[in-house]
Structure 1
Amino acid sequence: MVLRRSRQRKRFNLIRYASYLRARWNVLRPRHLSYVLHSKPSYCLRLFPNSSHTSGFAVNPTQDTLPYLTSETTASTWKPSSIAPTMACPHLESIAAALQPPAPHNSVYREDCTQCFDSIDDPAGVDVCLQCFNGGCAGDRNHAQLHRQLWSHPLVLNIRRTRKVVVRDEPPLKMSKLAIAAETEADRYDTTTTVKCLECNQELDKTSDKLAPIVDGIMKANTFSRKEEVKAWEQELTSCEHILLMQQTESRTIQSGDLGHCSACDLHENLWLCLECGNLGCGRKQMGGVDGNSHALAHSDQSGHGVAVKLGSITPEGTADVYCYKCDEERIDGDLGQHLGHWGINLANQQKTEKSLTEMQIEQNLRWDFSMTTEDGKELKPLFGAGLTGLKNLGNSCYLASIVQCLFDTPAFKNRYYLPSRDLPTVQDPAADLETQLRKVADGLLSGRYSKPDSDVTASEHSPEISHQKGLAPAMLKHLIGRGHEEFSTMRQQDAFELLQHIFKLVTRSQHPSDLGDPTQPFRFTLEQRLQCLGCKKVRYSTNEQDNIFIDVPLEKEPTVEGEETKADAYKAVTLKQCLDNFTAEEVVELTCSSCGSKDGYTKRSLFKTLPENLVVNARKMAVINWVPVKLDVPVIVPDEPFLLDDYLSKGLQSSEETLPDEPEASAPAFVANPEAVSQLEAMGFGRNRCERALHATGNSDANAAMEWLFGHMEDPDIDDPLVLSGSGGAGGAGGASADPEKIEMLGAMGFSVPQAKKALRETNGDVERAVEWLFSHPEDQGIFEDEAPAAGADPATPKADAGSAATPAKYQLQSIACHKGTSIHAGHYVAFVRKEVNSQPTWALFNDEKVVEAGEIEEMRKFAYIYFFKRV
């Protein structure tokens, strides 16, 4: 920095003081500036580039734009940011050698904060740690600073994004394939990046040789929510062995007249030609009204021929719907022209006359949405505020959104996870911590912080007053819930009820502060089953603790009334009381009485011994049509006002009843090694003890898996010891040495959870060293959880109290519903209807992904309801 004097004075060495300011510019105190400006008013401060005195600063080479410090400048108006420093940061110097761009396996959290839903679209943006790639918000919550303080990671890349204007209700492009068009981030956003040190509070030169590769790597890396660059995806069709190895029968020319209708009925469309024998049969009845009697499938079952082509879908270019009934999948036939020519059909002369399976699926997907308009065609009123925040669809994630909205409307989940005045857990990786992510979602949904109109969306002339929310993207929670799960880890549509059960399991197994407890407990209750022998009339009562019930919905089609139009798929409405009556009705089961030996059977009936605070009811509306399970839309009438469940409470064992004798518990069979696998392993030179250990560790399946295990455990100290299992079960149980508290504590000190430690010790027969190796080789395994084990210090002889309450009156009211529209629970679309207070008035709110609106007609709720959430009132 050069300090130019406006008049010659030597009493004050401004050059030396400038060096001091250069070293301390980021903590400049008002008194420093005041001293220069007021003690020496005749001096002014100007910055010049390329000076021998300015080695610590980079300045704008345009002199006219450089700041002047004059007597009119005050400490409150001048900030260090008015200088563009690249002063050497000691933190950068100390960790520069360790900084590396993200590797392909690294998750880069550059879209939103890992501890809240503040994102790069907010004014302050998100700070991405240059060392571990954690994303922390840089706004008022400043989780980036919290991350720095906890883990001493001072260097970050700040990312801010500005959305380009989007006009709603533009006509969508015509879709001709099941694909999502590629759209890059640059098409939608303007992005600004800055590298800074949070410790020094200064910006760094992101173009420097040290930082440029890191910045470039972060911006190009796979984000957490998408493990690949933004790109189009399309349903990939392949061939199969049944097509590649297909043997066609003797060739012949099929006359055009024989291709006009099904060989077994009079249908003239949806016709499938067997490529193996030339039979023509109609297909299955398709979504969208395409008729079919499944004669092509029946032919495949009878003849064993697997490959067929849909006649109306053939094009001169060689594309067509080809289906393999043996794989039960749509396929591609690379030699379709040759295979059709075998039956005298010239590919070049074919014209496509019917919609393909993909086109019908796309068309149906567009219909699988819930009405967002009133009966007179106006859009439903958007809702905003606390508890009225939508969730973005991450691609077939509406099943997750519907369940999360219903759960976080219950007091149990609200009180457990919405803790604005409580510190978040201190964890190295917040994105991988279930507690952190559930609290993040609770804050996002319930605080109201993110429930506001999307200001970047311009309304169209057709709906000028409507502007919905941006919605929150629960990508981290979805990944965490699905981690290690065969189905929930995919991007496919899933059963929302199965997800609810999975979430309950994860939450129950997680750790809870003693003053908060398990939020799934208010969902638990005890169901009591009563068996009575038809011969001797003796009874047996058994109980089972659970957190939901299934009810089968009676299926009865609406009668056709002459002169009135009745839909073919219209079903009679049923009441919830009918469903519960069926659920608790007596039925006869064929069992031999252990007391009198009668083979007449038993009557069986299930009633509630206790009822929960929150009752979850899954309504099953399934039927098998053309050998395919299909979900039906049967309206279930549920009272809007509170109703009683007292009639479904069990009265328990009566004084006049005589109980059946208890049946002896069957002991689990002892582990017996697969003799064939043992012989194979012994033939390879392994001792018998080693063989048995290997087979036990690999599930007693086959010699190959056991051999792989042996090669990895040749150095185990007990490899040649006889296999000794605790308890009588074949798997060894979790008692004895494997449950040694000292060993569990040792593993806990290494950072492993109690369930993980128990699982590792069980798998290694209590050997701590081998348990550590097992844990490192099974990082995805969450361990074993003994839900029924007594708590520490509890008396094992004391019976566990029943969950729920048997108090009467047992009055309940419908609080929320997860609804589904579609022919299968693994397809279609899910939404949630939740009872809310809006402007002090009770109303039903519809949560349709990111859109939250005041629900209009409740008929859709009744017709498409899949999971009911009732609360005790």
Structure 2
Amino acid sequence: MSCPHVATALLHPPTPTQQVHKDDCTQCFDTPDQLWGLDVCLSCFNGGCNSPDRNHSFQHYQLSQHPIVLNIRREPKPKRGREESPAKILKLSIPGETEEDKYETKTVVKCLACDGLELDKTIPAIAEVVNGVLSALSSTKQSEVKAWEEEILPCEHTLFLEQDEAKVLADQDLAHCSQCDLKENLWLCLKCGTLGCGRRQFGGGGGNGHGIAHFEQTLHPVSVKLGSITPDGTADVYCYLCNEERQDPDLAKHLLRWGIKISERQKVEKSLVELQLEHNMKWEFSMTSEKGEELQPLFGPGFTGLKNLGNSCYLASVVQCLYSLPRFQERYYYPSGDLPLTLEPANDLETQLRKLGDGLLSGRYSNPPNPEEQLESPYAKGIAPSMFKALVGKSHVEFSTMRQQDAFEFLLYLVQTIRRASHQNLDADPTTIFSFVVEQRLQCLACKKVSYRTDVQDNISVPVPVKRLPRESLEDKEVFESVTLKECLDLFTQSESLEYTCQACGSKEGAVTRTAFKTFPEVLVVNARRFELVNWVPTKLDVPVVVPDEPFSLDDYFSTGLQPGEELLPESPSTSENVFIANEAIMAMLGEMGFPSTRCEKALYNTGNSDPDAAMNWLFQHMDDPDIDDPLDLGKAGSDLEVSEDSVAVLGDMGFTAAQAKKALKETGGDMERAVEWLFSHPDDNGTETPADQSERTEVTAGDATKPAAFKLHSIICHKGASVHAGHYVAFIKEKIGEQSSNGPEDTDWVLFNDEKVVRGGEVDEMKKFAYVYFFERNRG
């Protein structure tokens, strides 16, 4: 039976930059490893599962009318013995493992319009597309490789490379190493044209090190991996003097010096970036108790781990905590499998959030390993949040990279991203559970008049008092006295004195300020600031914070507002008059940390004047600006500023409306970077010239003022390492382990989520003392 749809289908091989979704379904986490495999659309390269109960592939066909698909099914090959990984491994020493090494792959071309009719793969119109799909980088690898490549920069040795006298290298000169017969992993010295094999790789093979030997003898710094060169000019370039991978902007010219035309080259080997990704995702962490016993793996609904994509543990820990909260579960987990109808599910945030909910909460991907897999690992394989990470981070300068990031910063960014996507539909916004109102009271010490201002917040960042214990010698590790959570909250809400010129009486005697809760959230997020500034560098301190296991009250930190007999200070000039009044309480807080007042004022101006953590992050990011200590200049800010339409278009690509983009640019003098910061600091500003009154949202939707306000610890994000931008993040979450029985209450315990590994218990009592982020749930019982 012939198929009439091949001739009419829009079949074409994928371009180098086109996304090919062949790692997992764009709407669930089914992969080619499932019995039914994965269907890749040969028209738009969407990946859809072919499972009997979901069949997202057929749903995509119904929506797109793209009938021809390539079904890819993989069966893992038996694994060889596992080697112990070294403590550190260089990119040049990482061995490659091909798909053929790991899997037995079977492919079938089908027409969904003909009830899954199997088609001849050798038909020219089909064969070319199939070969293109199978040879293309998957969308997952493509985005990961791009993220790594964005970090690779030129160096002085590539920019000012002086080459020897030109000579043409014959084909036989490029066929193997100049010192041995190896034909792969060959590196060409761009200085003199010598070809040498790569370093011997971990596990054996890969090279005899003749390339590095050539450098040691000659100090010729820059070499290129021949097998990685592509016709569009990308390749692996390594500088031995820098001992880093680098970019060579003049690579085509430097290769032509040795008779190599870059347009005639084809990539035939994995790049260093691809090899680095493979290695990072295989990295293992200890999963034993303090007694050395293996922790009990958990399986089933709610116990699905997230694979490490290479420095993505910050994302995994945040996502696990969010999706353990009832509001997020209700919002993004649909047991029926309902999903938005969209032609590009990989680029739809709502789809990816629901996909993540199904993956984490259904239990579909959290099954005990079979006996053969058990020998390699006792844990479930977990799911890879690649599409979610690529989509959420694509417009962010840091979260789009493969570097380790700050988990608390990512939490704030993700909350704002979800909130923007929810627009004005509060019922669809699960992040409202974090919102509450703080009230700042300021009183002049001379005339005793007061002012109150309210701000909506999603978290508090509390200072941790540092109490050093004596050390016997300077070589001993610093030890700190334990402090309680109550001490941190007392410090956060205590009255503070500050310099102040009263607008009512003109006195410069100063004022006193205090921050308190005007409403309380359903879930209180607390970031513990355990660091000191040492030479303007934040240094992490291991100060233990004792957090109670039982519910604790925030009633003592409630603000009662304007009291009888209090007289209000006159209102400050509006910002429309080109005057900026910095938040006094936050100015004082930043000043105590050692930041100069001019820098503090700039930080508050650029981050919305209400969030001390955002201001602090701005200060760290801009401390090297040449004008950082210049007085704040508001000359260009204002409604009369002409904004660039190109800048408006760039911000539009990030998801902001033209009105929002224009207002942000006007408020920040046309500075793109500051405009982005302003937009993230003003999530509720729709860009109108006169912002809508925020009092209604403040009073009605941001928490509630009922008491008692009791909170109990729900989950924590913990970090091990000297810096929040390095090391490793894990999450501990209090979960229901078993069903409630007639003999007693349900079994609850702490669960450790360490990337794809999910286990019961762990050293939670110790980790609670040093957690980086705490989630406290309102106790209504």
Q: TM-score, normalised by structure 1?
A: 0.61
Gap regions ≥5 residues in structure 1: 1-86, 246-314, 322-329, 336-364, 671-726, 735-750, 766-781
Distance 1:317 1:568, change over 3 A: farther
CA distance in 1, matches of 2:441, 2:774: 26
CA distance in 2, matches of 1:790, 1:317: 63
- Kindly indicate whether residue 629 of structure 2 is the aligned counterpart of residue 730 of structure 1: no
- Kindly indicate whether residue 99 of structure 2 is the aligned counterpart of residue 185 of structure 1: yes
2:727 to 811, 818, 828: 828
Provide Cα deviations, 1:590-619, integer angstroms capped at 9, x if missing partner.
110101111111111101111100111111
Q: CA deviation at 1:630?
A: 2.0
Which residue is 1:82 aligned to?
none
Which residue is 1:589 aligned to?
498
Provide Cα deviations, 1:466-492, integer angstroms capped at 9, x if missing partner.
610111100111011111211111111
- Kindly indicate whether residue 327 of structure 2 is the aligned counterpart of residue 412 of structure 1: yes
Distance 1:573 1:752, change over 3 A: closer
Distance 1:801 1:228, change over 3 A: closer
Structure 2 residue identity aligned to 1:116: C
Residues 415-454 of structure 1 aligned to structure 2 (within 5 Å)? 415-421=330-336, 423-454=338-369
Distance 1:596 1:241, change over 3 A: farther
Provide Cα deviations, 1:733-761, integer angstroms capped at 9, x if missing partner.
99xxxxxxxxxxxxxxxx99995364589
Provide Cα deviations, 1:232-263, integer angstroms capped at 9, x if missing partner.
98997964499989xxxxxxxxxxxxxxxxxx
- Kindly indicate whether residue 388 of structure 2 is the aligned counterpart of residue 477 of structure 1: yes
Distance 1:151 1:542, change over 3 A: same
SS class of match (2:430)? coil
Which residue is 1:194 aligned to?
108
Is this contact kept in 2: 1:239–1:333, CA < 8 A? no
Q: Which segment drifts farther, 213-222 or 655-664?
A: 655-664
SS class of match (2:142)? coil
Distance 1:443 1:117, change over 3 A: same
CA distance in 2, matches of 1:642, 1:515: 28
Residues 271-670 of structure 1 aligned to structure 2 (within 5 Å)? 333=241, 371-421=286-336, 423-455=338-370, 458-460=373-375, 467-511=378-422, 516-560=427-471, 568-625=477-534, 628-669=537-578
Matched residues, number: 584
Distance 1:220 1:244, change over 3 A: closer
Q: CA deviation at 1:863?
A: 4.3
Distance 1:732 1:784, change over 3 A: farther
Is this contact kept in 1: 2:398–2:405, CA < 8 A? yes
Structure 2 residue identity aligned to 1:157: L
CA distance in 2, matches of 1:629, 1:398: 21
Q: CA deviation at 1:129?
A: 0.4
- Kindly indicate whether residue 16 of structure 2 is the aligned counterpart of residue 89 of structure 1: no
SS class of match (2:329)? helix
CA distance in 2, matches of 1:106, 1:173: 36
CA distance in 1, matches of 2:290, 2:662: 63
CA distance in 2, matches of 1:175, 1:752: 39
Q: CA deviation at 1:169?
A: 5.7
Provide Cα deviations, 1:560-611, integer angstroms capped at 9, x if missing partner.
479xx99513322221111111111111111101011111111111011111
Flag the structure with larger Rg.
1
CA distance in 2, matches of 1:818, 1:174: 25
Provide Cα deviations, 1:141-164, integer angstroms capped at 9, x if missing partner.
100000011111111000111122
Q: TM-score, normalised by structure 2?
A: 0.68
SS class of match (1:844)? strand
Structure 2 residue identity aligned to 1:622: F
Which residue is 1:171 aligned to?
84
Provide Cα deviations, 1:152-190, integer angstroms capped at 9, x if missing partner.
111100011112234686422574525654222222111
- Kindly indicate whether residue 138 of structure 2 is the aligned counterpart of residue 223 of structure 1: yes
SS class of match (1:199)? helix
CA distance in 2, matches of 1:163, 1:797: 57
Distance 1:759 1:579, change over 3 A: closer
Is this contact kept in 1: 2:643–2:662, CA < 8 A? no
2:657 to 751, 756, 770: 756
CA distance in 2, matches of 1:431, 1:786: 25
CA distance in 2, matches of 1:592, 1:408: 48
2:759 to 831, 850, 853: 853
Structure 2 residue identity aligned to 1:660: L
Which residue is 2:251 aligned to?
none
- Kindly indicate whether residue 711 of structure 2 is the aligned counterpart of residue 812 of structure 1: yes
SS class of match (2:767)? helix
Q: CA deviation at 1:789?
A: 5.5
Distance 1:212 1:316, change over 3 A: closer
Distance 1:796 1:542, change over 3 A: closer
SS class of match (1:597)? coil
Is this contact kept in 2: 1:166–1:456, CA < 8 A? no
Q: CA deviation at 1:498?
A: 1.0
Which residue is 2:184 aligned to?
none
Is this contact kept in 2: 1:101–1:217, CA < 8 A? yes
Is this contact kept in 2: 1:164–1:456, CA < 8 A? no
CA distance in 2, matches of 1:424, 1:240: 51
Which residue is 1:160 aligned to?
73
Is this contact kept in 1: 2:716–2:768, CA < 8 A? no
Structure 2 residue identity aligned to 1:90: P
CA distance in 2, matches of 1:389, 1:764: 43
CA distance in 2, matches of 1:602, 1:549: 23
CA distance in 2, matches of 1:136, 1:89: 21
Q: CA deviation at 1:421?
A: 2.8
SS class of match (1:529)? strand
Structure 2 residue identity aligned to 1:846: L
Provide Cα deviations, 1:845-873, integer angstroms capped at 9, x if missing partner.
00000000012222442244111111001
Distance 1:607 1:228, change over 3 A: closer
CA distance in 2, matches of 1:232, 1:437: 20
Is this contact kept in 2: 1:381–1:854, CA < 8 A? yes
Which residue is 2:768 aligned to?
862
Is this contact kept in 2: 1:759–1:784, CA < 8 A? no
Q: CA deviation at 1:800?
A: 3.7
CA distance in 1, matches of 2:70, 2:31: 14
CA distance in 2, matches of 1:539, 1:129: 66
Structure 2 residue identity aligned to 1:396: N
Which residue is 1:872 aligned to?
778
Structure with more of its chain in helix, by fraction: 2
Distance 1:369 1:158, change over 3 A: closer
Q: CA deviation at 1:319?
A: 8.6
Provide Cα deviations, 1:771-822, integer angstroms capped at 9, x if missing partner.
xxxxxxxxxxx9998615699xx99698444211111110101101111111
Is this contact kept in 2: 1:757–1:783, CA < 8 A? no
- State percent identity of aligned pairs: 50
Q: CA RMSD of the aligned region, Å?
A: 4.0
CA distance in 1, matches of 2:491, 2:426: 40
Which residue is 2:275 aligned to?
none
SS class of match (2:26)? coil
CA distance in 2, matches of 1:825, 1:753: 26
Distance 1:320 1:824, change over 3 A: farther
SS class of match (1:372)? coil
SS class of match (2:567)? coil
